Structure 1
Amino acid sequence: AGLPGMPGTVLGHGTGAGERLLAVTFNDLAGGSASGPAGGPLGGREDELARAGALAANPRLHHVVVAGGEDTLPYADLDGPLTDEPGPSLVIAARHRARLAAGSADHFTGYGARQVLDAHPARLADLLVDRKRRHLVRPVAALAKADGSVMVPARVYAAARRLARTPYRTGLENLAGQLLRHQLGDEAPGGAADASLAALTWGRPGPAARWLTGEALAEVSVRLQASTSRSEVGPGQRPGDFRARAALARHAADLRVLEQAAEIRFQRLHTPFLDNQVVRACRALPEALRVRPGARAAILRTVLEGAGVRELPAGWGAPTQATTAAAARTGLRVAADTLMALFDTPLLAEAGLVEARVVRKALRAAAEGEPLPLDGLADLVSLELWLRRLLARRGTCWTGTPGRQRAVPEGIAPQRGALARGV
C-alpha cells in the first residue's frame, strides 16, 4: 500500500505516495468491570490495547486510539435515523459511530469473525451424528475446566446425544410447548457450560421472551405449531450446521442495521469475514477442528502465516467478551432515567407485547447489577426505538400522497413516474 498507481493506495489522503494505512482501536474509558472500578479502563481492554500497539509498530501503519467516554456507552445516545428494520445494534450505534468517524474512506472491520469461525455448541451433536465421539474430549474438558464441575462432561454429552437424536419437527414442537407453558429458562446462564447446554437444541426462547406477555408467547407458540406441518430441514442438514447458519444470518442482518444507524458520510464499510467466498471457505473447515478450544485464533494465525505475517503478539485473535457485557451494564446504569421514560408509555405495551411495569422493573434490576440477559433488554429497547422512529416518519414521504397535496404547481408536468416514486 502507498505506492502510486498500485492496488491498496489510499486515495484522498495526501499524494498517495508513501501514505501509511490507518489503524483504529477503540478504548472504552467509561465502562466498569469486575476487575476494575467504574470510570476506569476495562480490565480486558488493556491487553487488547497492548496487542494493537505491538501490531501498529509497523512503520506502514498509523495507529489512532479512540478514547470512549460516557457519551459512547451503550444506551447513551438513542437518537438516530430510521433503519430498514429493528436490531439490537441500535442501542450501540453512537458507540460505533465514534469509532468509525476516526477511520478513512474505506474502513475494514472484523465483524462476523466469531460467527463464521467459531463453532456453535450445537456442533457437538453433529460430531455424534458422524460418530466422532473422541473429538468431544477437548471441548468438553475445556468447559469442565471453566465451570469447575466434574458433572459437566456427562451433562454436555447427554445434551448433545439428545439433540443428535431429535428430529427438527420435534424440536419445533418442543419449543412451541415451552413458550405455551412459559418455560423460558428464567435462570441466567452462570457460565460457559450453562450457555453451551442451553444452546444444544434446535431452537430456544429468545432472551427477551421472559418479558413478553402470555398472549404474545401463545401467538408465537401457535405459529410454530402451524409451521411444523410444512417446515423441513434440508437433506443432510444437521442441528449444529442449522444453528450456526441461523446465528450468522441474524448477525449479518443486525450488521446491516448498524451500518445504517452508524453511517459516516462518504465512508464505505467493509466486512471481509461476511464475504460469500470467506463464509464458504470457513464452512469447509472440518467440525473436529472448529470445536477445539482456541480454534479461531489458530485458524487465523495459519492463514496469515500463509500470507507472510508471522510475528503476532500472544493472545491475538481471541478477544474477551467480558468488556462488552461490562460496558452494557454500565450504560444501563448511566441511562437508567432515559430508559425509564422510554418505557413510561411504550408502543410495545400498546401492542400487547409487553407490560410497561415489568420492563421498567427489569431495567432497574439490570442497572443495579442483577444477572439478567442484557441482550434481551437490548432487543426490547431497540424495538421500541424503531417503532417510535417509524411512527415519527409516517406522512413525511411523497409516495401515496393525494395529488391536491403535492408541492408541484398544477400547470407543471413532472417527469414521468418521478413524483409517484418519491424522487
Structure 2
Amino acid sequence: GAGERLLAVTFNDLAPGRRDEAELERARIIAANPRLHHVVVAAGEEALPYAELDGALTDEPGPSLISAERHRRRFAAGSADHFTGAGAREVLDAHPARMADLLLDRRRRNLLRPVTELVKAEGASPASLFVPLTVYRAARRLARTPYRTGLEQAAARLPDANRAAGSPVYDGPVNAALSALTWSRPGPAARWLTGEALAQVAARLTAAAIRPTSVQRPGEARARAVLARYAADHRVFEQAAEIRSQRLHAPFLDNQVVRACRELPEALRVQPDARAEILRTVLAGAGIHDLPQGWGATSRETSAAATRAGLRVAVGDLITLFDAPLLADAGLIEARVVRKALRAAAEGERVPLDGLADLVSTELWLRRLLSRRGTCWTGTAAPRQRAVAGGVIPRPTLHP
C-alpha cells in the first residue's frame, strides 16, 4: 500500500571470525534509505551448516542440502516475494579457463591485470615470482588442447584421483586458477570414491570424448558447465529451504539476464572486481550512484569459516550418518575413509569442504528417498517393507 516500506533482510553469523562486519556495515548504509525497512537475522550455532540434517525430499541431491535450514531462517524473515543475489558470481565472474579463450583470440595483454592480481594474492613469497609464467603456460596449454584430448587426459587421471598425491586441495587463488585451466578434472569428492567407481566414471568420460560436439572454446565450455551445475543445485535449494506462501526469486539466473551477461566481452570479465564494476555501471544507468565502498565484493573465507564451525559442532552426527552409509552399500565409497575425513575437517586440517558437502548431501538424499518410498497407507495389516531391498546405485553424474 501507499507508504509501505520495502523489507531488506541481512543474514549474518554471531560468532567472531564468522561475522562479516564489512558486509553488515555496507548493508546498514544502503538500508538507511527511508523507503527500506532493514532486518538483521543473527544466527548462532543452530543455524550453522550441518546443524540440521532433517529436511524435505528434493528432486535430486545437491550440496545445498547441508545449509538449507540455515537459509530458511533468512527467508522466514522475508515477505511473500523474496529476491536473492544467487548466481551473480557464476553469471558475471569469468571462469579462469577464459584466459585460454583470450589466447585463442591473440589478446595476451588482457591477461596482465588478472595475473598481477594473482601475484598479489600469493603474497611476497618466492613462489609468487613464478606465478605469471606458470599461469600463462597453463592457459596456453589449455588453448592448444583439443576437446577430445582434454577429456581423454581427464579420464586417464581419474583412476588415481583417490590417492593423496593425485588429489591436492585447491584452497588458494593461484592453485584454484591452475586447477581450473583444464577441460575437465576430478571433482573435490573424487579422493574418497572407490577405485571401481572412478573407473566407471573414467569409462563414461572416455566414451563422451569421442562423441560429436560443437565445443570449440574451453573457457566458454567450463563457464557453461559451472553455471549449469549451480543452477541445478539452486533448484534443490529452493525445494529444501522452501517457506510456505513465499516465492523465491533469483534474477541472475533468469534466462534473459544470463543471455545478456554472455554478451559481455571476455577481456572485461577476466579483470579483477569485474562483477562489482559491471553492476555499478548498470545501477548508475538507473540513477543509483551512492553505493558504499566495497559493495559487490563477497568473501569465500566467511563461508568457509561457517562451514568448518558447523562441521565441528555436528561431527558426531555426521560420523553416525556414515556408520553404515548407503553410498558404501553401492560400492561408491569406503565408510571408514569418509569418517576419517570428517574428523580431519572438524579438527581444521586441509580437506576440500565442498567434496564433503557432496558426499553428505548425497547420503542424506538417499536416506530420505528410502524413507519416502513405500509409505502409502494400504491398511493396518500391510507388511513393513523397505522400498529398496538391495543397495541403491545412484546414476553417476559427471561435473566437468
Query: 2:178 corresponds to which residue?
Result: 197
Runs of 4+ in 1 over 4 A off after TM superposition: none
Matches within 5 A, 1:318-397: 318-397=297-376
Is the 1:208–1:379 Cα contact (8 Å) retained in structure 2?
A: yes
For 1:180 and 1:232, the matched residues in 2 are separated by 25
Could you state the TM-score of these two structures normalised by the residue count of structure 2?
0.91
For 1:340 and 1:183, the matched residues in 2 are separated by 20
For 1:213 and 1:303, the matched residues in 2 are separated by 48
Query: 2:148 corresponds to which residue?
Result: 169
For 2:248 and 2:135, the matched residues in 1 are separated by 39
Out of 17, 23, 28, which is 2:8 matched to? 23
Q: Offset of 1:92 from its aligned partner?
A: 0.2
Is the 2:72–2:243 Cα contact (8 Å) retained in structure 1?
A: yes
Out of 207, 217, 223, which is 2:204 matched to? 223
Q: Offset of 1:42 from its aligned partner?
A: 2.4
Matches within 5 A, 1:1-400: 16-29=1-14, 39-40=15-16, 42=18, 45-148=20-123, 149-182=128-161, 185-234=166-215, 237-397=216-376
Q: Offset of 1:230 from its aligned partner?
A: 1.2
What residue identity is the alignment partner of 1:82? L
What residue identity is the alignment partner of 1:215? E
Per-residue deviation, residues 249-306 of structure 1 (Å, max 9, x unmatched): 0000000000000000000000000111111111000000001101000000000000
Q: Offset of 1:182 from its aligned partner?
A: 3.4
In structure 2, relative to structure 1, the CA distance for the partners of 1:174 and 1:55 (3 Å cut) is same
SS in 1 for 2:129: coil
SS in 1 for 2:41: strand
* Count of paired positions: 375
For 1:231 and 1:379, the matched residues in 2 are separated by 30
What residue identity is the alignment partner of 1:311? D
Is the 2:90–2:227 Cα contact (8 Å) retained in structure 1?
A: yes
For 1:22 and 1:373, the matched residues in 2 are separated by 36
SS in 2 for 1:269: strand
For 1:222 and 1:279, the matched residues in 2 are separated by 33
For 2:43 and 2:374, the matched residues in 1 are separated by 37
Higher RCO by CA contacts (8 Å cutoff, separation 6 or greater): 2
Q: How big is the alpha-carbon RMSD for the aligned residues of Structure 1 and Structure 2?
A: 1.6
Q: Offset of 1:183 from its aligned partner?
A: 7.2
Q: Offset of 1:186 from its aligned partner?
A: 2.1
SS in 2 for 1:150: helix
Query: 2:397 corresponds to which residue?
Result: none
In structure 2, relative to structure 1, the CA distance for the partners of 1:68 and 1:41 (3 Å cut) is farther
For 2:341 and 2:138, the matched residues in 1 are separated by 30
SS in 2 for 1:310: coil
Is the 1:85–1:386 Cα contact (8 Å) retained in structure 2?
A: yes
Q: Offset of 1:142 from its aligned partner?
A: 0.6
SS in 1 for 2:368: helix
Query: 2:391 corresponds to which residue?
Result: none
Is the 1:169–1:232 Cα contact (8 Å) retained in structure 2?
A: no
Structure number with greater Rg is 1
